[in-house]
């Protein structure tokens, strides 16, 4: 019986320290940030956004510049083909059609390259901002005494005192004075055929 009590006592002493070391989770102190406002109100974000809009407008202008003469030429070629009433086009018309298709493909490739560059630029701007925001969130949370930070769009309602958006914008303006609106060149794809 004495051995049983000693064994039980040893087992209990082994369990007690682990139970004592488990700590209660502290009460949540929540702060809220409006990320849409952060990315529209930060100084560098405004500049980058204007640069991206200019790139998009340049793309749209280029698209229109390429499309207008192609449409005109396409209508002319279609009228020439329709005038044949099902007959085979001559060599000159075939050459015009081939040249038109080549210009059309070239224009499409040019626009696709420009569109991809704009998308890379947008992603690059977003990456620069998000890389700076992580440490800023931590700093703002520590300064304001919060242990949870929630995006305003994920909440149903909040009190104004919980909003730290202004703090985040101010810190982002200091941490990120400028944003590059043109992404570095995409790595060339290398294919090795063996």
Examine the pLDDT at 4 and tell me if it is beyond 50: no
- CA 104, 108, 109, 113 torsion-angle sign: positive
Q: Where are the domains of the chain?
A: 29-175
Examine the pLDDT at 194 and tell me if it is beyond 90: no
How many angstroms separate the CA atoms of 173 and 60, rounded? Answer: 31
How many angstroms separate the CA atoms of 54 and 122, rounded? Answer: 12
pLDDT for 5 equals 43
* Helical axes 165-175 vs 43-83, angle rounded to 10°: 80
- CA 43, 40, 55, 128 torsion-angle sign: positive
Examine the pLDDT at 189 and tell me if it is beyond 60: yes
Coil, strand or helix at 79? helix
pLDDT in tens, 11-62: 445 554 554 456 888 888 999 999 999 999 999 999 999 999 999 999 999 9
This prediction has a pTM of: 0.74
Q: Which of 24-28, 64-68, 98-102, 186-190 has the lowest mean pLDDT?
A: 186-190
pLDDT for 190 equals 55
pLDDT in tens, 113-171: 999 999 999 999 999 999 999 999 999 999 999 999 999 989 888 888 899 999 999 99
Q: Which of 156, 138, 159 is nearest to 147 (CA)?
A: 138
pLDDT for 6 equals 47
Strands (E), 21-99: 30-33
Higher pLDDT, 135 or 2: 135
pLDDT for 14 equals 52
């Amino acid at each position: 019986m004495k051995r049983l009590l000693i064994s039980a006592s040893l087992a209990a002493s082994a369990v007690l320290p682990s139970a004592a070391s488990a700590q209660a989770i502290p009460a949540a102190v929540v702060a809220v940030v409006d990320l849409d406002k952060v990315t529209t109100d930060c100084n560098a974000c405004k500049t980058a956004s204007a640069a991206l809009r200019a790139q998009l407008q340049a793309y749209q202008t280029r698209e229109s510049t390429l499309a207008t003469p192609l449409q005109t030429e396409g209508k002319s070629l279609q009228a020439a083909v329709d005038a044949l009433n099902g007959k085979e086009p001559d060599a000159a018309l075939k050459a015009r059609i081939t040249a038109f298709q080549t210009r059309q493909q070239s224009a499409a490739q040019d626009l696709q390259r420009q569109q991809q560059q704009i998308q890379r630029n947008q992603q690059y701007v977003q990456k620069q901002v998000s890389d700076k925001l992580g440490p800023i969130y931590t700093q703002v949370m520590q300064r304001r005494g919060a242990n949870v930070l929630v995006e305003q769009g994920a909440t149903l309602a909040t009190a104004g005192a919980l909003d730290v958006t202004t703090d985040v914008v101010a810190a982002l303006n200091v941490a990120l004075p400028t944003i590059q609106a043109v992404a570095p060149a995409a790595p060339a794809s290398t294919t090795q055929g063996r």
